[in-house]
Structure 1
Amino acid sequence: MPRLHSRALAAGCATLLFSLVTPAVAAHAVTGAQLSGTLSDGATWTADMPAHWNGTLLLFSHGFGPTTAADAPSDAVKAELLAEGDALVGSSYDPNGSMWALGSAERDQFATLAAFREQVGEPTRAISVGESMGGLVNAQLARDGGGRIDGALGLCGLVAGGVDLDNYQLDAEYTLATLFNPADADRLVGFSGAADSNALAARLTAAVTAAQQTPSGRARIALAASYLNLADWAPGETAPAATDYAGQEAQQYDWIAQGLLYFIVPARWSVEQSAGGNTSWNKGVDYAALLRQSVHAPQVEALYREAGLDLRTDLATLTRGAHISADPAAVRELQRTSTAGQGLGVPLLDVHTTADQLVPVEQEGAFAQRVRAAGDSALLRQAYIARQGHCNFTTAEIIASLHALEQRLDTGHWGGATTSDRLQRSADELNLDGAAFVRYRPDALSGVRR
């Protein structure tokens, strides 16, 4: 149904709603309230009601981290959405397991939606919103939610899924260990606990810090960065030119120096906990072929030449030593719980920054290919923000993206609502905190196992 954009209209219809739809009476009775509850698996949910509800409900899926209920990406976004009249709700996911809570997240989000409907009332429209790992949850909800949600907005979503994530991260970690700290080349998976993964992150970070001091070390860091799909535009820096290969490597190193490995290596432990074993492998991977598929191949080749290193020798060493095998049952579990793109049941707009160090923008390209293969490209649109950092959006960018999705739901077609020019204009008209929408096409995602 079309969104009731006018608060006056919503208020004016209150008497009619009272007489026609009993659940809507309850909804208006709790406007301005904060609500909460507990689901059957122990997950909790939280909701915020606006002073004057317009009928729209936003179901928020939070990212990787503590399993605490949240219903908006930030306090600033929450305030703006409530001012527009939207109701907000979201769950913690199952609090009894891993922070990689994909085994319960989709189920808990749908259960949260049902709990809201039971306790508050039937919304005129339900829209799913998710960021980071929650963007993967959001894509699953968009796939399976026909009849329960009307549309979905993804923010910096991990939409390529958990298997691809673990594999390209393994490729990068394996390269760093093999070339800088060979004793760790066989210690990259199957962690005994969080302390084990944190210790590995510390050793790899120290090795990269030392390697950055020499031309050969910098060339090899660039090789690992290419497998990691690591952005070459770091915070506080100007984006390097297309052929400024040394500048690109310096900014990739900045990401690592700022603690990137301290996040992605321990996160693998959480994934292994959730899946019940090692979920990534490199046995049989040809690292020369893998580099040829990377947009960063010219950078790596140039830095190796300048350092006087034989790139073919390093690539042969990596290929020869690649013998890590996954636990098949764990891979099946991760595929079951942590993939998306097998189709869409409702319109989905995905938004991503172009220099995302944690969830590379290249994931959007891989996701779009899978949606296209499923025959649902007409339901998907993607938009991009020219900025560094993971989920580094302004409030205006998120609100403008939501409005573009709502236009699609109102009219039944996308039109030009998701072009960079239209989104930029819409964000500017909000007079909030600016926007940087840009025309962009992601490169291929490295590390996808065929």
Structure 2
Amino acid sequence: MYHPKETTEIGAGLRYPIKDVMKTTTMYRHETTDLRGLGRMGHSGFFGTLGFFILSSAILGNTVFLNKAWAQTTAPPEVTHREQVAYKEEKGALPDGTGYLIRIPEEWNGTLIRDLDYVARVGQQGRADRYEHLLNSGYALAGTGRHPLRQWQYDPAREISKLDLVLDRFEATYGEPERVIQFGCSGGGHVSLAVAEDFSDRIDGSVVLSGHTPVWIMNSFLDGWFALQSLLGEYYVEAGHGPASDLAITELLSDGSSNPSGHGMTGSLPEAWRKAFDAAQESPEGRARMALAFVLGQWPAWMADDTSKPDLNNVEELQEAMYHSLLRLSQSPGGEARIMFENSAQGQQLSWNENVDYAEFYENGNPALKNAVEQLYQEAGLDLQADIQKINDMPGVLASSHAMEYWSAPGRTIVGDPKIPVIRLHSLGDYQIPYTLMLGYEDLVAENGNSDLLRTALIRSTGHCTESAISTAESTAAIEVLNRRLDAGEWPSTEAKDLNALANSLGTGTPARFMPLGGHDVGEYNRAWVPAASSQDN
């Protein structure tokens, strides 16, 4: 059985290699210790008269050796006044260079929130508020940063193993938490799903915010981008921008044009796509064909922050929203972070559409977007079925068997078999990860008879993982819902109106925008992939 820890350089039998690892532990105090919002308060006065100190540790196996001389002779740090309650902080680097951070409030409620992206996001404007609120509410927080080589070596299974090391450190110093919740957004959301399915022995429940699944997301993006590549080249060429071959979507080069995070690109490729979208927008035919890509890819029409949510019954509003969404998507041709995903399995392709019938995919599309496409095609005097056939006739993309084997491993994909309760939220207009991945997972979980372990909720917002996409109120409400499920053994209501009432009651000062799925459903998510049943005709 594959296990992430057994495939890293850490080595079987060692939680840490034989190496001194410097860490710092600091106590921060603030005059305000009121714990706002949710949280079951336990471990009151856990730290009591704990003073300030810095310690150095060398960790071998499960044994922790404290450098007492250092602790006794090093002057305590100055008190730092913050908005948060008093808390103790430990930070450092794991043996492979991955940063980690632990914060535990003086009045700890016994629950630990573990997050893949805690190191970076706790200090980011637009993302830090949710962590501050959780700390103020009595939760301990721990997690990692993303490794600087992630763009070339992305491996969520490995990331899970690093989170396990952080949990080892937490337990060695502070004891075993009463409850551990895996929490994360985007790649952290995928980790939360994978932990719930394959590595749940130390975790009680998972909160998933706008989570991706690597093969699923790359195939969903491939479908829409393949349609755009098949149908928009003529507008790019006619406008005098260059040959259609400029409009690449797969096998992208690691030439430095991708941003260090792996998200977004600069240079000639995204610029070429922006020109193609602008050219296509000038004609009824181009506008109709861009809309078709949204149906085939099962993308939301609304993904640009500077636009209003379109009325699903207003074709003009939908088309305008889709155009602006494409301009935003142009920063990541072929799909968000495609270079990173393609680099992961030694540069081998993980997405495919050979033998895909896009006529069938069209039938599974969102009804409102299909209606818009059909009206736009009629107004343009185009044959919709002829265009779909043209896409089908284009040379398809083949996945590498090596890549499929790589992505089949536990931790790197999901199969709809959670072992612990999971609540999953998604922004309707998330431009990096279509919300339809959440719908596909919900269906897969139901097929496996696991619906009692999953609840999902949609949020009326655009953006990705920021406060504007998923607010502190919304993410904290998800934790509260999960806590109630873990306490009572059954879910409270997750209807949109009830989630909004709960979120508004938490005193975060941030919006609650949960919404029913309504007209945003699809017939069936086209790209659910389960390794045991994988083939290139699914």
TM-score, normalised relative to structure 2:
0.73
User: Any residues of structure 2 matched to 1:87-236 within 5 Å, and which?
Assistant: 87-98=140-151, 100-158=154-212, 161-181=213-233, 183-184=244-245, 187-195=248-256, 198=265, 199-233=268-302, 234-236=304-306
SS in 2 for 1:387: strand
Return the offset for 1:167: 1.4
Closer, same or farther: CA 291–332 of 1 in aligned 2, 3 Å = same
Q: Which amino acid aligns with 1:363?
A: L
In structure 2, distance between residues paired with 1:202 and 1:103: 34
In structure 1, distance between residues paired with 2:452 and 2:355: 37
**Is residue 2:504 matched to residue 1:421?**
no
Task: Please tell me whether the aligned partners of residues 176 and 204 of structure 1 are also in contact (alpha carbons under 8 angstroms).
Answer: no
In structure 1, distance between residues paired with 2:371 and 2:272: 29
Structure 1 counterpart of 2:342, from 267, 272, 277? 272
Q: Which moved more, 1:188-197 or 1:85-94?
A: 188-197
Residue 89 of structure 2 is matched in structure 1 by 34
Task: Please tell me whether the aligned partners of residues 60 and 71 of structure 1 are also in contact (alpha carbons under 8 angstroms).
Answer: no
Return the offset for 1:326: 1.6
User: Any residues of structure 2 matched to 1:11-30 within 5 Å, and which?
Assistant: 11=44
- CA deviations 1:287-330 (Å, max 9, x no partner) are 22221221132221211110111222222211111322121111
Q: Which amino acid aligns with 2:356?
A: V
In structure 1, distance between residues paired with 2:251 and 2:308: 39
- CA deviations 1:115-166 (Å, max 9, x no partner) are 22123321111111011121111101111233301111111111xx211211
Return the offset for 1:185: 8.5
Q: Which amino acid aligns with 2:311?
A: A
Residue 314 of structure 1 is matched in structure 2 by 387
In structure 2, distance between residues paired with 1:353 and 1:390: 7
In structure 2, distance between residues paired with 1:249 and 1:384: 22
Return the offset for 1:375: 2.6
TM-score, normalised relative to structure 1:
0.86
In structure 2, distance between residues paired with 1:292 and 1:13: 58
SS in 1 for 2:87: coil
Residue 71 of structure 2 is matched in structure 1 by none
SS in 2 for 1:406: helix
Return the offset for 1:415: 3.4
Structure 1 counterpart of 2:479, from 390, 393, 402? 402
In structure 2, distance between residues paired with 1:35 and 1:310: 63
In structure 1, distance between residues paired with 2:192 and 2:502: 24
- CA deviations 1:156-201 (Å, max 9, x no partner) are 111xx21121112112222222222273389432223245774333
Residue 242 of structure 1 is matched in structure 2 by 312
Which has the larger share of helix?
A: 1
Structure 2 counterpart of 1:291, from 353, 362, 368? 362
Task: Please tell me whether the aligned partners of residues 273 and 333 of structure 2 are also in contact (alpha carbons under 8 angstroms).
Answer: no
**Is residue 2:469 matched to residue 1:385?**
no
Closer, same or farther: CA 84–224 of 1 in aligned 2, 3 Å = same
Q: Which amino acid aligns with 1:243?
A: N
Return the offset for 1:40: 3.8
User: Any residues of structure 2 matched to 1:316-395 within 5 Å, and which?
Assistant: 316-336=389-409, 337-391=411-465, 392-395=469-472
User: Any residues of structure 2 matched to 1:38-49 within 5 Å, and which?
Assistant: 38-49=93-104
Residue 74 of structure 2 is matched in structure 1 by none
Return the offset for 1:12: 6.0
Q: Which amino acid aligns with 2:208?
A: G
Return the offset for 1:61: 2.4
Closer, same or farther: CA 387–79 of 1 in aligned 2, 3 Å = same
Q: Which runs of 5+ in 2 are unaligned?
A: 1-37, 49-63, 65-85, 235-243, 259-264, 529-536
Q: Which moved more, 1:205-214 or 1:330-339?
A: 330-339
- CA deviations 1:327-373 (Å, max 9, x no partner) are 11112212325311441121111111222222111111111122223
Residue 327 of structure 2 is matched in structure 1 by 257
Q: Which moved more, 1:362-371 or 1:200-209?
A: 200-209
Task: Please tell me whether the aligned partners of residues 296 and 362 of structure 2 are also in contact (alpha carbons under 8 angstroms).
Answer: yes
Q: Which runs of 5+ in 1 are unaligned?
A: 16-22, 24-30
Percent identity for Structure 1 against Structure 2: 29
Task: Please tell me whether the aligned partners of residues 94 and 108 of structure 1 are also in contact (alpha carbons under 8 angstroms).
Answer: no
Closer, same or farther: CA 365–5 of 1 in aligned 2, 3 Å = closer
Q: Which amino acid aligns with 1:324?
A: V
In structure 2, distance between residues paired with 1:171 and 1:376: 29
Residue 238 of structure 2 is matched in structure 1 by none
Q: Which amino acid aligns with 1:46?
A: L
Tell me the matched-pair count: 426
In structure 1, distance between residues paired with 2:137 and 2:215: 38
Return the offset for 1:266: 6.5
Higher-Rg member (1/2): 2
Return the offset for 1:260: 4.3
Residue 83 of structure 1 is matched in structure 2 by 136
In structure 2, distance between residues paired with 1:51 and 1:13: 6
Return the offset for 1:229: 2.4
In structure 1, distance between residues paired with 2:390 and 2:334: 24
Task: Please tell me whether the aligned partners of residues 271 and 330 of structure 2 are also in contact (alpha carbons under 8 angstroms).
Answer: no
Closer, same or farther: CA 266–333 of 1 in aligned 2, 3 Å = same
In structure 1, distance between residues paired with 2:286 and 2:134: 48
Closer, same or farther: CA 289–356 of 1 in aligned 2, 3 Å = same
SS in 1 for 2:332: helix
Closer, same or farther: CA 98–138 of 1 in aligned 2, 3 Å = same
